[in-house]
A and B are shown apart, each in its own frame.
Chain A
Amino acid sequence: MFTEIDTVTLDDPAADRPALKPWREKTRTRGKSVNSANGNRETRTEWVSHVRRIRDAQDQAAFAELFQHFAPRIKAFLIKSGSDAALAEECAQEVMATLWHKAHMFDPTRATVATWVFTIARNKRIDVLRKQRRPEPEDLGWGPEAEPEQDDVVALQQETAQLRDAMAALPAAQRELIEKAYFGDLSHREIASQTGLPLGTIKSRIRLALDRLRHAMN
């Protein structure tokens, strides 16, 4: 089933820089059409401002909209990971509460809101379902930080939209394999390097954000 479909090339550090510039120009020109052509996509970029409204004004209306969209997805994700419905419900509420409390830590130049919510839900699953601690890398999100550039936010959100489109375009069997790997019922060998997802550009974007953060800290 998995033959030589080429590949993520995340491994090559040298691939970082060259990919960046041409890509950046491309997204700039693409920006407007994406927003007008695809309402869904626009909605998803909007979640960033919802999180900011929670961070800056404890905005309960913004939270209610986020809750309505994400809580049923978190609950479904946990059920597919082996939880019963009652525990999944409880965990989904806790994940959403964490989103509220950690709104100030969300960095939209490194993740979409969906990605960020996924990481919180994943950690909840490890804690509650697998009863394991979750070691996390050293936090870079402290110290004096400027508000991120809007261009960088939009670029990351758009790249993730491209990733989503690429996943939607995968043959069903491959997409199912990826989903199972993330729901936790499958080993990851082979999946990572053979799905041909456009992860290289996202990686470059995140790398740039990390470099900036390191620079700001020094």
Chain B
Amino acid sequence: MSTEIKHHLTDDLLMAYAAGTLPEAFDLMVATHLSLCDHCRARAESFEAVGGCVLQEQDGTANMSDGSLAATMALIAKGAPIAKPVRAGCSVLPAPLQDYVGGDVNSIKWRSIGMGVKQAILPTTSEATARLLFIPAGAAVPDHSHNGMELTMVLQGAFSDEVDHFARGDVEIADEDLHHMPTADFSEDCICLAVTDAPLKFTKMMPRLFQPFLRI
């Protein structure tokens, strides 16, 4: 299932995901990648083991109040919270993304951003932005660089840029130094999840003018 993924997440992203300290948009990226990549899932779970050791071995514990066990038993007696319905596997969007979109690709509410490229911004906290990108087969996203970190993961099709070729499950990690122009393969329309912790900077005049309106 995950054998063909070549571009993985970094240790510091996986550790921060395990610690639970990433902005929501980055959590969504990591959870989506882990759904497709057992290699990174195992790495993330081993960082959770570090968290288990920290919890277990920390200096000092905090006394629970009298009656806390009885209060917890009363809580348990109220019954389990209703479990989320399990979304079907083997679709274009892994389960964590489907939770944000409200379904698979057919449910994505695309907005055109020009030249056939479309995007859909996903509802996360504002520290960082998560959006789905649709790049028609053979088309390119305008040349741009980034103020902060941008992670782009392929969900359908594939793209190439100055760095390499990226297919389903592959994550490109771009920082301030990378100017790139991702171009979709000719064989299929490309759908990506892109997460940024700062707005993109476009190199050409026109896209920069539109940037405040398009929220890209």
Chain A residues with a Cβ under 8 A of chain B: 8, 10-11, 13, 16, 44, 60, 63-64, 67-68, 71-77, 79-80, 85, 88-89, 92-94, 96-97, 100-102, 110-112, 114-119, 121-123, 125-126, 131-139, 142, 160, 163-164, 167-168, 178-179, 181-184, 187-193, 197, 199, 202-204, 206-207, 210-211, 214
Chain B: minimal CB distance from A93 (Å): 4
Docked CA distance A119–B50 (Å): 11
Pair B68/A111 contact, Cβ less than 8 Å: no
Are A206 and B46 in contact, with the CB atoms below 8 A?
A: yes
Contacting pair A210 B41 (CB below 8 A): yes
Most buried by B among A121, A133, A182: A182
> Are A163 and B94 in contact (CB-based, < 8 A)?
no
Q: How large is the interface on B (under 10, 10 to 19, 20 to 34, 35 or more residues)?
A: 35 or more
Closest to B72 in A: A93
A131 to B23, CA, bound (A): 11
Given contacts A67-B69, A75-B64, A112-B52, contact A138 B21 (CB under 8 A): no
Find the A residue at minimum CB distance from B33.
Answer: A137
- Please tell me if the beta carbons of B12 and A193 are within 8 angstroms of each other in the complex: yes
Q: How far is the CB of A69 from chain B (nearest CB, A)?
A: 9
Residues in B neighbouring A160, C-beta threshold 8 A: 49, 52-53
**23 pairs from A and B in contact (CB 8 Å cutoff):** A8-B11, A16-B39, A60-B73, A76-B62, A77-B55, A94-B75, A102-B80, A114-B55, A115-B48, A118-B48, A122-B18, A123-B20, A133-B27, A133-B124, A135-B96, A137-B95, A138-B95, A163-B49, A178-B50, A178-B54, A188-B13, A188-B16, A197-B50
Interface residues of B in 53-111 (CB under 8 A from A): 53-58, 60-65, 68-69, 71-73, 75-76, 80-81, 86, 89, 94-96, 99-100
- CB of B39 within 8 A of CB of A207, answer yes
Check if B21 sits within 8 Å of A181, measured CB to CB.
yes
Alpha-carbon distance between A101 and B200 when the two chains are bound, in angstroms = 44
Q: Which of A80, A125, A163 contacts B53 (CB 8 A)?
A: A163
Nearest 4 pairs of A and B residues by beta carbon: A115-B52, A72-B61, A192-B11, A137-B34
Q: Given A132-B24, A138-B35, does the pair A199, B80 have CB atoms closer than 8 Å?
A: no
Structural contact, A80 and B58, CB atoms closer than 8 A: yes
Is residue B187 contacting chain A, with contact meaning CB distance below 8 A? no
Name the one of A135, A163, A182, A204 contacting B99, with C-beta atoms under 8 angstroms. A135
B residues in contact with A181, CB < 8 Å: 15-16, 19, 21
Per the bound structure, the CA–CA distance linking A125 and B51 in Å amounts to 13
Are the CB atoms of A97 and B75 closer together than 8 Å?
yes
A114 to chain B: which residues have CB within 8 Å? 52-53, 55-56
Contact A119 B51 (CB under 8 A): yes
Instruction: Look across to chain B and name the residue whose beta carbon is closest to the beta carbon of A123.
Output: B20
* Cα(A75)–Cα(B16), bound, Å: 21
Q: Is the CB of B12 within 8 A of A192?
A: yes
Q: Are A115 and B64 in contact (CB under 8 A)?
A: no
Q: Which of A88, A116, A139, A191 contacts B15 (CB 8 A)?
A: A191
Q: How far is the CB of A114 from chain B (nearest CB, A)?
A: 4
Closest to B25 in A: A135
